[in-house]
Amino acid sequence: MTHNILLIEDDLDMQTLISDYLHNYDFKVVAYDKPIDALENLKNNSSLYSLVVLDLMLPQMDGFDVCKKIKEMLDIPIIISSARNEISDKILGFELGADDYLAKPYEPRELVLRINSILKRATNSSKTIGDFEINENKHEIKIDGLLLDLTKIEYDILDLFLKNISKPLSRESISNAVTGVAYNSKDRTIDMHISNLRQKLGDDPKNSHYIKSVWGIGYKFIG
């Protein structure tokens, strides 16, 4: 499988060196020297890229601001590649969500090893249950290969169902397992989230293929 790498690097010689080297290891690299253009491309092609390699000393925006904006946009691995080698820079990079930090100068082969390590972890975090593919690192669930547009609560509920196939779950147990959903016997909040989830799954409650209501208990996921 060929992975697409987004490279944000304003040193054109370094940009060419990294791009050519990664190409030799079957990575496809899309490179930008201006972060605003890179962010626009990432916004419009969020599903295209597997990883971002990010320099910090950039025109238009500081690299840390770019890192923050990327992580606000989507959950994608980021390797910071920078001549800024202070421990405070490394700490800030990791606090902003970077997955790795390579201080220049470094051997390009080391970058390849770091990329492969991160992508391997991301791949190992995916599992398939029936029609569903779950990536716990990215908090994403796909059905028949299509990414579901889920809120955090909907993701957590569906993830709970998929871990408890055919097991009836009470509204109270769902509330206890899912952060942000309080249980009250007179409150229909959980039912509302289940209804929204059913719509996104294309699941007719009268003839359910996935989520069945269990009278007097709550719900059961039949996969």
Higher-pLDDT residue of 184 and 114 is: 114
Residue 207 has pLDDT above 70, yes or no: yes
Could you tell me which CATH number the domain at 153-221 has?
1.10.10.10
Q: How far is CA 51 from the centre of its chain?
A: 10
Q: What is the mean pLDDT of residues 101-129?
A: 87
pLDDT in tens, 78-102: 999 999 889 999 999 999 999 999 9
Closest CA to 201 of 158, 137, 140: 158
Domain boundaries, the chain: 3-124, 153-221
Residue 123 has pLDDT above 70, yes or no: no
DSSP-derived letter for residue 222 is -
Arithmetic mean of pLDDT over the chain: 90
Record the tokens describing residue 111, joined without a space.
Answer: 């970058």
Q: What is the mean pLDDT of residues 30-52?
A: 93
Q: pLDDT at position 157, please?
A: 94
Higher-pLDDT residue of 153 and 205 is: 153
DSSP-derived letter for residue 56 is S
157: burial class by Cβ within 10 Å (0-12, 13-18, 19+)?
buried
Higher-pLDDT residue of 63 and 185 is: 63
In three-state secondary structure terms, 131 is coil
What's the CATH architecture for 3-124? 3-Layer(aba) Sandwich (3.40)
DSSP-derived letter for residue 217 is T
Residue 30, number of CB atoms within 10 A of its CB: 16
pLDDT in tens, 3-21: 999 999 999 999 999 999 9
194: burial class by Cβ within 10 Å (0-12, 13-18, 19+)?
buried
- Fold match between 3-124 and 153-221? no
Residues near 44 by beta carbon (within 8 Å), at least 6 away in sequence: none
Q: pLDDT at position 174, please?
A: 92
* Residue 160: its H or E element: helix 152-162
User: How crowded is the C-beta side of 48, counted as CA atoms within 13 Å?
Assistant: 13
pLDDT band at 185 (very low <50, low <70, confident <90, very high): low
